[in-house]
Chains A and B, each alone.
Chain A
Amino acid sequence: MPAVDDLATLMSRTALHDRAAFERLYRATCAHLLSVAFRILNNRDRAEEVLQEAFMNVWHSASGYNPVVATPMTWLINIVRNKAIDALRSGKTERGSTVALDDEALEIAGDAALEPQRLLDDSLTKAHIDACMGELNASQRQALALAYYRGMVHTDIAEAMNAPLGTAKAWVRRGLDKLKDCLQAAGVAA
């Protein structure tokens, strides 16, 4: 991810409708943000639509961004992720009956069950909280990974993991409790 200071400057210039800064902000963050949307939607076309919509928002509401509350990347990820989740849920019926199979989707479908878990493990390692989070069992970690990377709700998770709904909810809750504790212990986030 790009340096935080640069993004903060680009954000504040974008808020003043500086087009050059807006383009640099886009160029600096789009590949990471598209990846966020793509994990959730599993379809490049739809993920790119979401990315474009998100940057429409960024242009219009960058002045509402408050650097005291969030880092620029957190603010941007949140916009993209929410839009991707909305798109996922509004297109659910359609998605159930049609499967988009471009190359990347095939690649992902190949290890659909493993990929979120791997992304989670890699992130935890990078944040040096892998040992702490290792105290969770595999199901708890998988439930958290499916919710975050795939944008799944409890019923989706229960179905994907072939578990009762109450159990899926408890796994997510436990995963979140632990995430907060581990980050706090590592001093990574508040």
Chain B
Amino acid sequence: MTTTDTTDLPFNATGFYRLLADKKLMGCRSHSSGVLYLPPRPYCPVSGAADLRWEPLSGRGTLTAFTVIKVPPSHMVAVGYGRDRPYACGVVALDEGPSISAQLFGFDVDDPASIAIGTAVRAVFFERDVDGESRTLLGFEPVAE
């Protein structure tokens, strides 16, 4: 893991994905309200202040909802997914509190009924070609028992 200088990172999707590129999952916390945000926000709606600081997250969480996509959008078809190669995605509640949408790996997509809500998961970082450019994205996989 490299050290990322967060000084000038915007508290938004640009900052989030730049941190992912360094294999870091980070949220941001409002100094005045103490609320932790993931996805990051440049403004805390609770306190009404723009006083955010980046904060590392453990990447540990539990699966709260999922689906297995058999008819993908074009950007997923472009990287090889389709009816014969479905994938799972879902919502994960992180141990620190906030939830995030992400692709899921290591689940049996041919038997979706076997996928259990409440499964303990951990963050993985993976590369995907987006418009000819490789981007680091966030995924989750089951924690080995």
A and B associate: no
